[in-house]
Structure 1
Amino acid sequence: MRAVGAEQVEEAVADCVAVLGAVADRDWGKVRAGGLEWDCRKTAEHIADDLIAYAGRLAGRSTAGHLPFTISLDEDTDNTGVLKTIEATGALLAAAIRTTPRAVRAFHPYPFRHANREGFAAMGIAEVLLHTHDIAEGTGIGYEPPAELASFVLTRIFPRVKPGPTPWRTLLWATGRGELPGREPVTGWKWSNNPVLRSERLVLEGVTPAVAADLSLAGDGGFDWVDSGPFEGTREGAGMLLKQYEEGVFHPEWAMYVLARREDDRAVGAMGFHGVPDEAGRVEIGYDLSVDARGRGYATEALRTLSRWALEQDGVRTVAAAVEQENVPSQKVVDRAGFSEVSRQEGQISYELRG
């Protein structure tokens, strides 16, 4: 399956090198990089350092923490040499993305201590775009990257940021580098990779706005699905999730998860919450399994995992589910997962699992 993100890293790096190459003859060490405390030279070196660090974590399958290495440039390296280093480290990150299996996750601290190849691509692109902006601002030249690159970053590692007038202006605002009408200035920020939960046979992988958009438009969301593919409920749920993102009320942990088999990384369905817990600590859950994957206990296993996780969160007291009275297989799923029937109304049975 095509590794999304590698081409975007290459494009971001090429754009950076072309823009900063026009001012490579200046003394970057004497100019502050935009609003940063670093000078432009140190900021450029930082771009290369981050790119190689991300490539190393992915290639080395690092799960415990930062790798114990960093870039050290020769003392006589000029700005052109720094840009060549950014090109090389960008190429290494792109290669790592292309050669890393989709299901692999490596260490990154925010916020779940791991990221997949697409997350590392988005983080690498963010470093390139934002710090190219900082250096361009410090050297007094204009810079605006392709809108698609800024959108790539926002829809993968800034899921709670409501889209703004343009992706680039929104990304600058979200990282404390600009203003947006009607929004308070950002003084502190961190990006957010998607959540992942694991059961005996499944990986429950949190859906990003980018994945939701693709699934809602009849795509595969970057997953290798069983032959029957995403069922209609998964696509409808993805559309609802995308609407939440566009309205600025998307919460990754309380959204949808794609269920992928651990044995072969093939997606078998989706499960998720209808929204964040209410004031009473109640959250509703729903699920959808591809036809080829039914009758094997996947839904029950995933429901137990996700419900248990929910009830471990602060303030959550009840996980609810509603099942059509005619849908006997789903009724058996919630029964096996430990839910109890609480009411019947208008053709639906309401169930609850309490902590």
Structure 2
Amino acid sequence: MASKLTCSCLVLLVLVCMGCGICCYGEGMVPAVYVFGDSLADVGNNNHLDLSIIKADFPHNGVDYPGRKATGRFGNGKNSADFLAEKLGLPTSPPYLSISSNSNASAFVDGVNFASGGAGVLDSTNSDQCIALNKQIDYYSTVYGALVQQLGSDQAQSHLAKSIFVIVIGSNDMLHYVKSSSQNKLKSPQQQFVDSLVSSLDGQLKRIYNLGARKFAFIGTGPIGCCPSMRKQNKTEGCNQEANDMSVLYNKGVTSLLQNMATDFGDMSYSFFDTSLALLEYIQQPATYGFAEVKAACCGLGDLNAKIACIPISTYCANRSDHIFWDFYHPTETTAGMLSSTAFDESAPYVYPMNIRQLAAL
């Protein structure tokens, strides 16, 4: 009788552990997540920019977010910042501008999100409408100072060294370039422009490193020429090849930059996710990945739902999970979730030299 009871208890324990492995996925992997970037990772910072028109704090955004409420996320539900935090077992890092200036370091210990819709590597990209990357790093510098003051230098450094720093930036700079005049492109050829972005990023990432960051998760730009806004400009509704080529060049440049940083700084580790490669597979083989619509946005008006943005008077699709794009620039929650899963758990050629799960475990 005792042996049967012991066996039953062991079976129950195994089942409980299996269940916990499902519901507590990634719990306790890192102490915090600090996020820098653009609208792909903004969780509400732009809500606090009174003069900005780059906002998503209105319907139909958030229709699939808990509570069906627009939060400032540029999409129908969760975005990459949400999914990555979830996989790491942490709550989504709050938008920096939502935290009171009187808050102490305890408000920053679990992570902060500095991402801003419209932001770029360059200060000139959507200037006065968003928080440019340099300004985001300024804000992080303030957070760093508060952590050092409250925790002490050694404890703050240890905390930050174990945390993950997510960077999602570059798309807006390249979209502005592609849409610029031919005269501007003659002054600054494509490769030269991309090189200038990577050069700026070099100083920016090193500044974040000098402020305690040691684990970088860089989310590369997607095939920006395939977003509905760019497709709409082609009679064939095909992808804009110039924009896609720029994204490939940029991702290669960032990869080289990260490799050099890891060589120069022996205590730095990184994970780079090639979003272009992964998302192009969805676009080229939609049925394989559960998608039915790869060209048109789910929410908007006009050709490909991309003539007018997703605003309260726009229509939106009922079958959001089979659309790759939510509006004329941003992915649906389904797409963002799938891409985040790949960045977190897959391997080369999509993510290298390690995935985010492996980065977190270091």
Q: When you count helix as a share of all residues, which structure comes out higher?
A: 2
Q: Which has the higher contact order (CA 8 A, sep 6+)?
A: 2
Q: Which has the larger radius of gyration?
A: 1
TM class by smaller structure? under 0.3
If the length of structure 1 is used for normalisation, what is the TM-score? 0.26
